[in-house]
A and B are shown apart, each in its own frame.
Chain A
């Protein structure tokens, strides 16, 4: 690892992060300079973020290094998801997911 590599990664990551808000401002300008984007565009963008988050959740819960992640991890996430669906508090969801995954692993479940 070198300082140059760290700086390149940092600059590239920041560019991805900052490009979003900048593009959004530009998009608003293209739509007649209105401060607010048309509702259809706003819906598309926020749906896009939800789609990315759900894909992130799915891949993080079911795969590990490009392979099937085993049983303990998805079981933990599923427990958390069911609790969230039953309107359990956020802390309960997160802790229960971790406990189920940790418990299953302690019992030797992959």
Chain B
């Protein structure tokens, strides 16, 4: 996973510089934003002439999912203010998925969250700097299948949670909503809309006999 994150980081740095950004900009984005999808989006929209406001707004929408992630994971980061303030920045899809996969053992979940978060931060930024310095696009990372590696890794991590039928129903309903709305809504919104899948958690109302 670390290797995949590093390679995508290299390609981000290279693409950003190739699309006309100064060398320090992709690095600043990787250190300060640290959310790959939104970084590619902001660079891509600007490169396509979409304007800065649209680019930043779209990227923020894409990152809104971190709020419910933090709500679910709050205690796993630690309870102190500093732990939460630093841990919040390390909240990425991968660290959330790894930590949730260990949620029955809070100490282990915490160790996994911090280890994965700091490691991902290190290799993502190292990769970005290398890519920006090389300045040459290393080719299409899709050709290496990296775009399949990330969802497959996340899937392996959530699979055990889906054994629970209530969770599974909510997740399937949510995924269906997200897929159905993806063609019509800006990136990031369909995933948030998936939360309506949580209605599957509401217990079926007891049948009441209607007496005439």
Contact = CB atoms under 8 A, between A and B. Distances in A.
Interface of A: 1-3, 5-10, 12-14, 16-25, 27, 35-36, 43-64, 66-67, 72-73, 76-77, 79-81, 83-85, 90, 93-103, 105-106
Nearest to A75: B148
B142 interface: yes
Contact of B147 (A16, A36, A60): A60
Interface string B69-83: 111111101010000
Interface centre among A44, A45, A47, A85 (most CB of B within 10 A): A47
B134 interface: no
B97 A53 contact: yes
Interface residues of B, number: 86
Contact of B152 (A35, A58, A67, A93): A93
Given A14-B89, A49-B72, A55-B190, A84 B159 contact: yes
7 contacts: A1-B42, A23-B67, A43-B201, A50-B162, A53-B96, A55-B171, A81-B159
Interface in B8-52: 21, 25, 28-29, 32-35, 38, 42-43, 46, 52
